[in-house]
Chains A and B, each alone.
Chain A
Amino acid sequence: MLTIRGLRKVFRGKALPAVTDLDLDVRPGEIVGLVGLNGAGKTTTIRAAAGLCTPTSGTVTVFGLDLTRQKAEASRHIGWVPEVPNFEPGSRALAQLRYYAGFYDLSGPAARERCSALLQQVGLPGVERIRLRTFSQGMRKRFSLAASLLGDPEILLFDEILSGLDPEGVALVRNLMLELRGQNRGILLSSHILSEVQQVADRVAIVHQGRLVKTLTREEVANAGGLTLRVTVANLDEAGVGILRGFGEVRREANTVWISNPIKESSEINAELVRRNYTVVALGYEPRNLEQLFFDAIRAPEAAGP
């Protein structure tokens, strides 16, 4: 299990921490989505979990092994796919993979066989002799995915793995993630494509301004597919919002309120507002998705104020 406790990372020359007081677990057999705006701290979190950046404070452990103090041993349990994979440009695909394989004590024909099988698995058959500099972004992602699976790790860290992939690649990675979850592997998936995260994630951690602001449970993610009622009221005030809270979880923007999974029909809600002398300008259902949950989560702290 990957356990992050009190992670704080302040880069040299930066006043603000990239990540602060972040707690997160990734258990075997689950996919945890990691979502946030640009600069929210997703990549820093994943890099710390991969042992690539040392926490300023806090700990990252993998099955009890501290990634700072027991880096080599801990890394054996982790596979990492970066957002922008970089390889020796002049190296050939198989040679590069076999080089990586050496760190897992794989050598000779066994290494060759394993590397070729992984290339096949990620949809890159027949590229063994091709130089990596000729790979497209999508191919680099797939190659990096193959490299991350070399050591048969229990925990996989995917940083924007879907970006740069064509639809076929997205489907391949999605199916692979589900297959890996079925093999009791834990995956931490950072992505901007929230719909994809919603499709595969068991839990979703939402980070904002370096903090973990909310972790959506399996149920919350599962229910994210419900409906939201959008109500626009001309003379909306706090009392009106209070009335609407009685029908479900609400989010307000100016004169519009979104009610998640309302417990009453729209006509009943409209009638109640009219009865209280509110002027309803618009009323209608919208599909509710992870994106709304995400914005709900990151706006809540902002609305709460400093």
Chain B
Amino acid sequence: MRPFPLSGFLYEFRRALLSVPLIVLTVLIVLASFGVLATFAVNRTPPSTFLESSNLFYFAKGEYHFESYVYDTYGNPAPGVVFNFTVFKANTTGGPPGGPVANATGRTAANGLVDVPVALAESNYSVQYSAVGPNNQSVGCGGQFFSSATSITSPPPGEIRPFGCGSLSSVLSGTGYQASTLLQVFFLGPNGTAPPNYQVYWAGPFNISPSPAPLPESSMHLLGGLSVPHQTYALSVPSMGRDPPVGIPQIVQVELFTTGGQRVAMDANQSAGNFVRTPTNSEGVSVAFVFVGSIMAFLVPLMAVLAAYSVYGRDRLTGVLEGVLARPVSRLGLAVSRYLAVIAALCLAVAGAAAVLDALVAWVLGGFLPFTVMLLLFSALLVEIGAFTGLVFLLAHALRSSAGLVATAIGLWAFFAIGWFVLVPLLGVLSGAVFSPGYERTVVQLEFFNPVQFLSLVQALLLGSVSVIGPTTPLAPSDYGITYASVVGDGLVWVLAPLAALVHVVRHRD
């Protein structure tokens, strides 16, 4: 004889999981989670004033051409940016450059492009240049301001080369969400023509040292073709886990090939971290507590109340349970199997909702929520689930009508989830103690006595501070008695006390 009715457990698990209230509330939580999209959407107005540029040059027909593309952080072209070039004769001995041999000026067009031709004989030079936006904005390059002299070594006629701190590729912020990034490639075909459908490949991440060597196409990933001077690509470097990568800086390598497989250019200057989509810890904790804390902590106890009522309370009070108890099963076995079935179903529903939230966060912020944060939050919700499930099971043995049970159970949830937050401040106001240090301490410590607020205790531990309203400076959680030991103990009491009482009642009463 099996002590635990496994088939009954599975049946009740399925029944709890498919109960209408559980489905409705889970869907509600999932829908609420979509609020993440609004919270982390990038606000594009006003646009960033910071401008960046990518720079190329080539020699053709007795002229050097300095081609630049200026854009904002979203990749929008920046017209009206004035470039000033001063070309010096290069000092081949490595000393300072000689006197200036040419000056030239250009202004970016509506498409953000500028071509500044300088008539010079083919040779090696140093170039000093500056760029100023129409509203005197600084123009950076890869995040650096520049106006220093840059040596240029004359390439074969018609061949395109980067210059300055500009490189083949650059990083743009995605226009959708805060953490999304795009790779922008700016390059030209021979003699400044449109790129003849170069193939853009990437590989990585690699350690920044030693300097990466050129790679064949076969060992890289194709990003797409390049038929216009500048093009953006969605580049996603595999996450190195839920926690942000640390240690040796890593880069991604970008190369351009002709359709015939001949390498045209290579760039290994972009940090891989730009493309590893991982939310910061603060973002993760913020999402976790805003959405999990405020929505799940509020609704999960109600889910527990309704699921426990559906699976046990109603059956017990309408006589349905007796039809099961007449089977080869002990009273305790039946009660515990149903209790565990409800807990398991709720855990799965909450995990499903959390998975949707995590997937949304990964989509929006570029990476999953910190694992430890999710684990602690799930544990906190498990305490709520255990406490309310146990209480409803227990009430089913104390009350005599299903209507009375559902009213009492929902009333219990309403008291802890809503009434508590009205009653406690009200008592503070009535007693005249509100905002006093003693009142704050009492309010915080009362969280130990409310299962809905158990998550607040966990939050205090995770964030290392307690948020209180009042004139005093927030103290560390331990100053309020919130320690790992006290929180774990409180959670165990909330789960085990109703369960122990239930076991006692089931064993000693009809």
- Flag the segment in B119-127, B324-332, B444-452 that touches A: B324-332
Partner pick for A103 among B5, B15, B331, CB 8 A cutoff:
B5
Q: Is A245 positioned at the interface, with any CB of B under 8 Å from its CB? A: no
Q: Is A295 positioned at the interface, with any CB of B under 8 Å from its CB? A: no
Contact A51 B326 (CB under 8 A): yes
Q: Taking A52-B510, A88-B315 as contacts, is the C-beta distance between A102 and B326 under 8 angstroms?
A: no
Best-surrounded residue of A12, A87, A148 (most CB of chain B within 10 A): A87
Complex CA distance for A79 and B3, rounded to whole angstroms: 20
Chain A hits for B319, CB < 8 A: 82, 84, 86
Q: Is B320 positioned at the interface, with any CB of A under 8 Å from its CB? A: yes
Contact B323 A147 (CB under 8 A): yes
Complex CA distance for A87 and B6, rounded to whole angstroms: 20
Contact A71 B330 (CB under 8 A): yes
Contact B330 A82 (CB under 8 A): no
Q: Is B322 positioned at the interface, with any CB of A under 8 Å from its CB? A: yes
Q: Is B11 positioned at the interface, with any CB of A under 8 Å from its CB? A: yes
Q: Is B38 positioned at the interface, with any CB of A under 8 Å from its CB? A: no
Contact A86 B323 (CB under 8 A): yes
Q: Is B248 positioned at the interface, with any CB of A under 8 Å from its CB? A: no
Q: Which residue of A lies closest to B333 (CB)?
A: A72
Complex CA distance for A181 and B324, rounded to whole angstroms: 25
Complex CA distance for A99 and B337, rounded to whole angstroms: 14
30 A-B pairs (CB sep. < 8 Å): A12-B509, A50-B326, A52-B322, A52-B325, A52-B326, A53-B510, A54-B509, A72-B1, A72-B3, A72-B329, A72-B330, A72-B333, A75-B328, A75-B329, A78-B326, A80-B326, A82-B323, A86-B319, A86-B320, A100-B323, A100-B327, A102-B5, A102-B11, A103-B7, A103-B324, A103-B329, A107-B7, A148-B326, A151-B327, A151-B328
Interface string of B294-336 (1 = CB under 8 A from A): 0000000000000000000001001110111111111101000
Please list the residues of chain A having a beta carbon within 8 angstroms of any beta carbon in chain B.
12, 50-54, 71-73, 75-76, 78-80, 82, 84-88, 99-100, 102-104, 107, 144, 147-148, 151
Chain A hits for B320, CB < 8 A: 86-88
Contact B8 A102 (CB under 8 A): yes
Contact B326 A75 (CB under 8 A): yes
CB distance from A151 to the nearest CB of B (A): 7
Q: Which residue of A lies closest to B322 (CB)?
A: A52
Best-surrounded residue of B7, B322, B323, B509 (most CB of chain A within 10 A): B323
Contact A82 B322 (CB under 8 A): yes
Known interface pairs A102-B5, A147-B323; 8 further A-B residue pairs with C-beta atoms within 8 A, sorted by A's residue number: A54-B510, A76-B1, A82-B319, A86-B319, A86-B323, A88-B320, A99-B8, A104-B328
Contact A102 B7 (CB under 8 A): yes
Chain B hits for A80, CB < 8 A: 326
Complex CA distance for A104 and B510, rounded to whole angstroms: 23
Chain B hits for A82, CB < 8 A: 319, 322-323
CB distance from A99 to the nearest CB of B (A): 5
Q: Taking A54-B510, A102-B11, A103-B8 as contacts, is the C-beta distance between A76 and B328 under 8 angstroms?
A: yes
7 tightest A-B CB contacts, nearest first:
A102-B7, A103-B327, A86-B319, A76-B328, A80-B326, A75-B328, A53-B510
Complex CA distance for A104 and B377, rounded to whole angstroms: 40
Chain A hits for B327, CB < 8 A: 75, 100, 103-104, 151
Chain B hits for A99, CB < 8 A: 7-8, 11
Complex CA distance for A16 and B327, rounded to whole angstroms: 30
Complex CA distance for A50 and B328, rounded to whole angstroms: 10
Chain B hits for A151, CB < 8 A: 327-328
Q: Which residue of A lies closest to B331 (CB)?
A: A71
CB distance from B499 to the nearest CB of A (A): 20
Complex CA distance for A76 and B326, rounded to whole angstroms: 9
Complex CA distance for A103 and B1, rounded to whole angstroms: 10
Q: Taking A72-B333, A73-B1 as contacts, is the C-beta distance between A100 and B328 under 8 angstroms?
A: no
CB distance from A53 to the nearest CB of B (A): 5
CB distance from A289 to the nearest CB of B (A): 33
Interface string of B16-36 (1 = CB under 8 A from A): 000000000000000000000
Complex CA distance for A102 and B327, rounded to whole angstroms: 10
Q: Which residue of A lies closest to B320 (CB)?
A: A86
Chain B hits for A72, CB < 8 A: 1, 3, 328-330, 333
Q: Which residue of A lies closest to B5 (CB)?
A: A103
Chain A hits for B325, CB < 8 A: 51-52
Complex CA distance for A18 and B5, rounded to whole angstroms: 32
Complex CA distance for A285 and B228, rounded to whole angstroms: 119
Chain A hits for B318, CB < 8 A: 86
Partner pick for B324 among A12, A100, A144, CB 8 A cutoff:
A100
